[in-house]
Amino acid sequence: MVRAREIGKGAFSTVLLYLVTQKGKARSEWPEYAVKVIHPDVLAKYSQNISREIAILRLMPHPGITRLVSAFMYHSECYLVLEYAANGDMFDYLQAHSSGLSEGVAKRALGEVLAALDSIHQQGFVYVDLKPENIVITSTRHMKLTDFGGARPYTAEAEKEVEKSRHAVQELRSGDWKYEGSNDGSVKAEVDHFDESELDPTKMEGTTIYMAPELLRGQYPSVASD
């Protein structure tokens, strides 16, 4: 893989664009991936949250959700390899179209986001952190939800699925984590045991200005929170 450039940076992670080299093909034809690099200090403090995000992403096959291709540790950092959305996020798109969107574009975007949310809810999860920055736009102008750090199960069955997803990842040795049985056979990740403390409503993640009132009151999220 060849690092192309940095495409995003936050308090907890940096997102890089990587290209997969392929002999006999022009650089413009090489597959592109967004690689989310989680910093060591964040990993040490939020390992449960990160493993939960990986576990939930493995359970989300919907086309309106960014696909987790791989996850692994390297030099004390955690790497999440995700499909790349070439047209950035909805926040930047709205900034570039400050005069407003056409009705057709708005309807299509809203419909695709709602379809992805409905799929998440049907599986017994809430997304929690819905905001323009977490809606990315593909090269074909389709919308996808990304960043599942705040997602939570809200049914007993979904909680069991998260726990099973975590147990599917076996820790082989320090710094070498492997997952067997992913949708594409390539995911490597750390996953630890399900911790009931993660259901503590006071530990909910999200962006304050977009948070549902019940989350600000310290209540556990529901479908209505999205």
Binding-site residue set for ATP? 36
Instruction: Give the max Cα distance, the chain.
Output: 57
Residues catalogued as catalytic: 129
Q: Do 162 and 150 form a contact (C-beta atoms < 8 A)?
A: no
If we measure between CA atoms, which residue out of 120, 140, 138 comes closest to residue 130? 120
Neighbours of 51 (CB within 10 A): 25
Please give the radius of gyration of the chain, using alpha carbons only, rounded to the nearest integer.
Answer: 18
Helix (H) or strand (E) holding 34: strand 32-38
Q: Which amino acid type is present at position 223?
A: V
Token output for 69: 């291709």
Token output for 128: 């929690």
